[in-house]
């Protein structure tokens, strides 16, 4: 009943710097291009030199002879605007960023670029905690099931991503915050009330997610074990914690919107994830 775009990601863009991570970043991107059968744009913000060009050519040569598929763009300027602008100009639908596990003060600069791109890009963003040369299987995907209009689309898209990446398990996480429970546990009675309300909220949330799941075409669900899980914690933050606890391979989140006041709060939630990446994170737009 829902019209799905056939390929979620048609054009994947990756911004590269000539750091030791270059090879890993490009290899990761090339694998994604493979999985989604899409085009790839490599953007380097900086001067174009023969040495650099050879370097990149060498790296992508092992992957594709098809020149149409890979497009290397050289541009000067502020990395954030260049990458965002290039993505828009080329209609990219996924930007890949190799992040660092925890942003130390020394490496903060790189981190802040990644953050700015994540916040302002027009398309989805994939943040990799540790880009690697080898293929890592993506077995378990955790998706947010927030009560948000974007959630339905995010969940639908997640199934497509899961199919493309060959994931076996997909957990949809509903976050229940203390504010929703509205009970402060003080004694046995309030504890009972709290437990009941939480049970009801969990059921309600579960029902909501089940409704969304019913709309997902069967062929997207085959071969994937679907689980729903209610967690109690800070909205937007605890899901990252959960992904870490269950050792998920990918966390898929709604994108922040910057229109209303409420969404600003949500933006704040995403900042939590960005400041402490639990695993690879895909921000869906």
Partner 1 sequence: MKKTNNTTSGFLSQLPKNIFSGFVVSLIALPLGLGLALASEAPPISGVIASVVGGIIVSIFGGSKVTITGPGNGLVVVLLGAITTLANGDLYQGYIFTLAAIICSGALMIIIGQLRLGILSDFFPSSAIQGMLAAIGISIFAKQFHVMLANTSIKGDTISLLTDIPHSISLLFKPEYSAIAALVGVVSLLIMFFYGKIRNKYFQLVPAPMWIVLIAVGLSYYYEFFSSAPYPIDDSLLVQIPNDVFSNFPTPDFSLILDFKFIGVVIAITLISSIESLLSIKAVDKLDPLKRRSNINKDLTALGIASIVSGFLGGLNVVTVIARSSVNVNNGGTNRTSNFFHAVFLILFVVLFQDQLKRIPLTALAAILVYTGYKLAAPKNLKIVAKIGKEQLIIFFATIIATITTNLITGILIGILTTIIIHFILNKSVLFFIRNLFKPNVLMFKEGFNDTYFVSIKNFSSFLNYSRLKRKLDTIPENQDAIIDFSLCDFVDYTVQESLLGYQETFKRKGGSFEITGLDIHGTSSEHPLAIRSLIPFSKKIKIGAKSNLTKRQKDLQNIANNFSWKYDPKKDHDVSGLHDFVFFKTKKINYLNNSIYDSKSIFRISDTEFSEGEFIARTLVRTTIMTIKLKTEVPKFTLDKEGLLEFIYKFSGFKDILISGHPDFSKRFFLLGEKPEKIKLFFTNELVLFLESNPYYHIECNGSYLLVMRKERLASIKEIKALLDYGTRLEKVISSIQYEELLLKSPKIKS
Nearer to partner 1, 52 or 130 (CB): 130
Q: What is the distance, to the nearest Å, from the Cα of residue 192 to the centroid of all Cα atoms in its chain? A: 38
Q: Judged by CB under 8 A, which of 31, 69, 116, 198 binds partner 1?
A: 198
Q: Judged by CB under 8 A, which of 52, 194, 221, 267 binds partner 1?
A: 194
Span interacting with partner 1, options 110-118, 209-217, 232-240, 257-265, rule CB under 8 A = 232-240
Q: Is 195 in the site for partner 1 (CB under 8 A)?
A: yes
Nearer to partner 1, 77 or 245 (CB): 245
Nearer to partner 1, 1 or 106 (CB): 106
Q: Is 27 in the site for partner 1 (CB under 8 A)?
A: no
Q: Is 238 in the site for partner 1 (CB under 8 A)?
A: yes
Q: Is 225 in the site for partner 1 (CB under 8 A)?
A: yes
Nearer to partner 1, 149 or 187 (CB): 187
End-to-end CA distance of the chain: 21
Query: Both tokens of residue 149?
Result: 């209009």
**CB burial class (10 A; 0-12, 13-18, 19+) of residue 46?**
middle
Q: Is 185 in the site for partner 1 (CB under 8 A)?
A: yes
Query: At which residue do the structure tokens 């099931």 appear?
Result: 145
Contact 48, 74 (CB under 8 A): yes
Q: Judged by CB under 8 A, which of 93, 279, 282, 285 binds partner 1?
A: 279
Query: At which residue do the structure tokens 């409704």 appear?
Result: 211
What's 160's DSSP letter? H
Contact 133, 106 (CB under 8 A): no
Q: Alpha helices, DSSP H only, in the chain?
A: 22-36, 50-61, 79-89, 108-120, 149-165, 178-181, 188-214, 218-221, 238-245, 261-275
- What is the Cα–Cα distance from 114 to 118, expressed in whole angstroms? 6
CB of 70 to partner 1, least distance (A): 25
- What is the Cα–Cα distance from 23 to 32, expressed in whole angstroms? 14
Q: Is 25 in the site for partner 1 (CB under 8 A)?
A: no
Query: At which residue do the structure tokens 């998706």 appear?
Result: 143
Contact 278, 240 (CB under 8 A): yes
User: Please, what's the b/e burial string for 115-141 (b: 16 or more CB within 10 A of its CB; e: otherwise)?
Assistant: bbbbbebebbbbbbeebbeeeeebebb
Contact 92, 123 (CB under 8 A): yes
Q: What mask of x and - would describe binding to partner 1 in positions 110 to 149, judged by CB under 8 A?
A: --------------------x-x-x-xx-xx---------
CB of 230 to partner 1, least distance (A): 7
Q: Judged by CB under 8 A, which of 188, 214, 218, 259 binds partner 1?
A: 188
Counting residues that bind partner 1 (by CB under 8 A) gives: 46
Nearer to partner 1, 43 or 209 (CB): 209
Q: Is 234 in the site for partner 1 (CB under 8 A)?
A: yes
**Residues of the shown chain interacting with partner 1 in the complex, contacts defined by CB under 8 A:** 105, 130, 132, 134, 136-137, 139-140, 168-169, 178, 184-188, 190-192, 194-195, 198, 202, 223-225, 227, 229-234, 237-238, 241-242, 244-247, 249, 272, 276, 278-279
């Amino acid at each position: 009943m829902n019209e799905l775009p056939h390929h979620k990601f048609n054009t994947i863009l990756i911004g590269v710097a000539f750091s030791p991570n270059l090879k890993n970043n490009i290899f990761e991107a090339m694998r994604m291009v493979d999985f989604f059968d899409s085009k790839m744009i490599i953007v380097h913000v900086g001067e174009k030199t023969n040495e650099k060009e050879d370097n990149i050519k060498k790296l992508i040569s092992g992957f594709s002879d098809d020149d149409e598929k890979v497009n290397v763009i050289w541009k000067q300027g502020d990395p954030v605007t260049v990458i965002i602008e290039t993505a828009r100009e080329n209609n990219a639908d996924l930007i890949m960023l190799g992040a660092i596990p925890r942003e130390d003060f020394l490496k903060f600069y790189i981190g802040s670029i990644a953050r700015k791109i994540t916040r302002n890009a027009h398309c989805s963003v994939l943040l990799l905690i540790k880009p690697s040369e080898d293929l890592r299987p993506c077995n378990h995907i955790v998706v947010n099931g927030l009560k948000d209009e974007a959630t339905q689309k995010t969940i639908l898209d997640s199934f497509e991503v899961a199919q493309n990446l060959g994931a076996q398990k997909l957990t949809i996480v509903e976050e229940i915050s203390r504010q929703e429970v509205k009970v402060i546990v003080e004694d046995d009675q309030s504890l009972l009330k709290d437990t009941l309300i939480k049970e009801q909220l969990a059921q309600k949330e579960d029902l909501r997610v089940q409704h969304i799941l019913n709309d997902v075409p069967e062929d997207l669900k085959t071969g994937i074990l679907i689980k729903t899980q209610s967690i109690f914690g800070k909205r937007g933050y605890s899901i990252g914690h959960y992904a870490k606890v269950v050792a998920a391979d990918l966390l898929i989140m709604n994108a922040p919107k910057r229109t209303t006041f409420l969404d600003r709060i949500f933006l704040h939630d995403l900042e939590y994830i960005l400041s402490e990446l639990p695993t690879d994170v895909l921000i869906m737009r």
